[in-house]
Amino acid sequence: MKKWRRPSWKTVIGVAIATFLLVVIGLNFVGSEKHVLATPTHLYGVRDPAFERVVGSLLGPPIVRGNRVDTLVNGDEIFPAMLEAIRSAEHTIDFETYIYWKGETGRTFARTIAERAKAGVRAHVLLDWVGSQSMDEDALSLMRDAGAQVEIYHPLRWYTLARLNNRTHRKLLVVDGRVGFTGGVGIADEWTGHAQDPSHWRDTHFRVEGPVVAQMQAAFEDNWIKVTGEVHHEPRYFPAIEPREPGVGAQMFLSSPAGGSENMEIMYLLAIAAAERSILLEAAYFIPDDRTVEALLQARRRGVRVDVIVPGPVNDAKITRYASRNQWGMLLSAGVSIHEYQPTMFHCKVLVVDGYFTSVGSTNFDERSFRLNDEASLNVFDTTFAARQAELFEQDLARSRTYSLQDWQSRSMKERVYESIASWVSSQL
């Protein structure tokens, strides 16, 4: 019989490190504990006071009235408005974003923030570690040297390994606690222009005034506290804000694996379940899970029009396109209309239900946004605002190609294989 030998200390350490890494990887790929098992049924419409009570009490902050929300279309409108607000800052600038890439746009934002920081404005910038990997180092140094406090969300450190898959995907800018911005835009040259060619992306962002800006400030503070431990509670961050007249009802809705990770998906499910006439969805990344698929199918069985616009041939993540198409068969068979935007990358994130309820912000229609990322969406309760988003939807629709059930059924074997493989990792996309 072969004599047993005690493993060397090198082997023991090697096994321990390998085990540790496997555990860390497992923690990153396993989402939060699932609580939502059934798709909500239709009990009321989005105009019913019950819907507002549920969304404002069960899941999120209360709906507050008297807000103004301006729609900004593409970089030619978005970036000048954001930069003007930063230049006007007298007390505070609070800026959180996922994407901050190298290029002239990033340098312009850095210079503008630095100028106000030098003038004595308290500037706080929170950047996601993954999304800012390609950022110009000189832009980072410019802001810090000017006195702006720049922090990185979940950088690669030994003590953050179990949270590396949790990214902040929020796009928030709040100036003087009175003016806020949110939407889908990243800080990169790809968002400049007016979606005129494949190098200039299509997106929508929103400028906000009114009492809901305090909720946007609180949304920024949520992650700032996690990263720094600092609590900003001075009046300059939360000034008294008079309602705007006429104004709209709104709430700033948050989700995070640290608390309420499934709230965003539940909110989407409740909005879809409340639909009685139409659902218009613009989704940069559309990978519905079983519950959201069933919610859309139930809406169709109620006779609700369901139209979805997704990216087409110009796509920054081909794997998400394959993972998305793997789910389309049931939806197309039920009469859901899916349209692929043709001119450039389509990065909008807008949901409009029955011409009244609109949700805009950073949230994608996929499991990563619903369970793994920190997200922030502005929910607006107003017919005029919804009508503007519906108008933009129709404009985007005119530049899209409708993907038919026949298209789906006739796709090649190669495409089917790619879609099947992509679906295995759909929860991470």
Paired residues of 209 in beta bridges: 68, 179
Of the residues 94, 124, 154, 171, only one is catalytic, namely 171
CA torsion through residues 383, 389, 390, 395, sign: positive
Half-sphere exposure of 132 (CA within 13 A, CB side): 27
CA 81, distance to chain mean position in Å, is 20
Cα separation, 323 vs 319, whole angstroms: 6
Q: 3-state class of 418 per DSSP?
A: helix
347 has catalytic annotation: yes
Of the residues 94, 347, 374, 382, only one is catalytic, namely 347
366 has catalytic annotation: no
Cα separation, 362 vs 182, whole angstroms: 7
2 has catalytic annotation: no
Q: State the Cα torsion 131-136-142-145 to the nearest 10°.
A: 70
169 has catalytic annotation: yes
Cα separation, 369 vs 285, whole angstroms: 10
Of the residues 222, 232, 349, 396, only one is catalytic, namely 349
318 has catalytic annotation: no
DSSP string, 274-304: H-SSEEEEEESSEE--HHHHHHHHHHHHTT-
349 has catalytic annotation: yes
Of the residues 169, 205, 232, 339, only one is catalytic, namely 169
Of the residues 94, 128, 176, 396, only one is catalytic, namely 176
Of the residues 189, 307, 354, 396, only one is catalytic, namely 354
Catalytic residues: 169, 171, 176, 347, 349, 354
